[in-house]
Amino acid sequence: TEKRITARAHTNIALIKYWGKRDEKLFLPMNSSLSLTLDAFYTDTTTSFLPESQEDIFILNGVTQEKKEQEKISAFIDLFREAAGISTKIKVESTNHVPTAAGLASSASAFAALGTSLNELTGMKMDKTTLSTFVRQGSGSATRSIFGGFVEWDMGTNSFDSCAKQIDDASWDIAMLTIPVSTDKKKLSSREGMKLTVETSAFYPAWVAQAGKDLHMIKEAIAAKDFIRLGEITEANGMKMHGTMLGAIPPFSYWEPLTVKVLQKVTEIRGQGLPCYYTMDAGPNVKVLCRKSQAAEIKQILDDTFPENLSIFSGVGQGAYLLTDI
C-alpha cells in the first residue's frame, strides 16, 4: 500500500524581522530573527511517492499547479532526495487554512509543513534543528515555523548552523490580532524586496546593526516575561525594517492609506491603557501583539473602527508535527 505522510505547520510572525540574505542560494540571512508561532493560520501537506512518474506533482488547495510552481517545489524536494539518496518523484497535496480568502497565506507554514512531511516520507527522520536548516532553503521564514512559541532563527556561520530554536513556549498572556488591510497579491515579493534593499538602501547597514541589538533586548524581555518591553521592541524593530525600504533605489513601501489609520488606532488604544503593539511584514496588513486576556477588548475596538476589515484573533501556535501515525 502506498505510503502517505501528512504534516501540519503553523505560520509565524517575526517580532525581530529577517530582512536580507548574505547568501541567496543557501538562504543565509544577514541578521538573526525572532518570531511568535500562531495557531490560527496553518498548512496541511501530504506527500507520497510516484514510482511511475517522470515529474513531481504539486496540488495546492485542490488545484494542480503550473510547471513554474511545480519546479520551485521540485527544487526543494531535491534537497531531501539528495540527502536520502533517492530519485523517485513525489506528489505534494497542500491545503492552506487561513480565515480569509487570500493574502494571508504564508510561505513559512507551506515549506515547514512540506519539509516535515518529506522528512518522514524519505526516511531522513532528522531532528527538528537539522530539519529547520533544510526548510530554510525553501523560504527563510519557514525555518522558524518548525518550532512553537517564541523562536529564534540564529543566522549562524554556514548552512548547517543557520537554524531555529525555541526560546520560550510563550505559554503566558500572549496573543496576536491580524487586521487584513488588503488581500490583493503583493506587488513585490519579500524575496525581491529584501534583495533590492540589501543592494541599494543607504539605511541597510544601520538595519543590520540595530537588528542585532533588538534581538538581544527582546530575549531579555522574554526571559523576564516583560510584555511592555516585548511590545516596544517589536514595534520599533518592524518600523526600522520598513524604513530601510524608503532608502532603497527606487524607494518602495508596502503601506496603504488604511495601514496608517490602523497603526494610529493601535497607538490610540495603547494610550487608553490597553497595551498593544503593531508589526507588519512585506505587505499592508497589520499584526497587533497584545495580552491574550485583553485581546477580546482590543479586537472589539478595532472592529468597531474598521468594520470592513474585521481582525482575526490568534493564540500561540505549536511547532510543525505529523498528522499521520507512524
CB closer to ligand DP6, 5 vs 28: 28
Residue of the chain from 6, 18, 133, 295 that contacts ligand DP6 (CB under 6 A): 18
Least separation in angstroms between residue 87's CB and ligand DP6 is 26
Classify the C-alpha dihedral 211-216-219-221 as positive or negative: negative
CB closer to ligand DP6, 6 vs 32: 32
- The full DSSP string for 258-304 is HHHHHHHHHHHHHHTT--EEEE--SSS-EEEEE-HHHHHHHHHHHHH
Restricted to residues 90-119, the positions that interact with ligand DP6 (CB under 6 A) are 107
Ramachandran angles phi, psi of 198, nearest 5°: -60, -40
Q: Does 22 bind ligand DP6 (CB under 6 A)?
A: no
Nearest Cα residue to 47 out of 92, 3, 2? 92
Least separation in angstroms between residue 21's CB and ligand DP6 is 7
Q: Does 139 bind ligand DP6 (CB under 6 A)?
A: yes
- The full DSSP string for 92-123 is EEEEEE-SSSSS---HHHHHHHHHHHHHHHTT
Residue of the chain from 141, 162, 259, 309 that contacts ligand DP6 (CB under 6 A): 141
Least separation in angstroms between residue 180's CB and ligand DP6 is 16
Least separation in angstroms between residue 214's CB and ligand DP6 is 12
CA distances from 161 to 114, 127, 153, 305 (A): 21, 13, 10, 45
Peptide bond into 307 cis (omega under 30): no
Q: Does 140 bind ligand DP6 (CB under 6 A)?
A: yes
CB closer to ligand DP6, 5 vs 286: 286
Q: Does 281 bind ligand DP6 (CB under 6 A)?
A: yes
Q: Does 27 bind ligand DP6 (CB under 6 A)?
A: yes
CA distance 280 to 36: 13
Binding stretches for ligand DP6 (CB under 6 A)? 14, 17-19, 27, 33, 107, 139-141, 190-191, 281-282
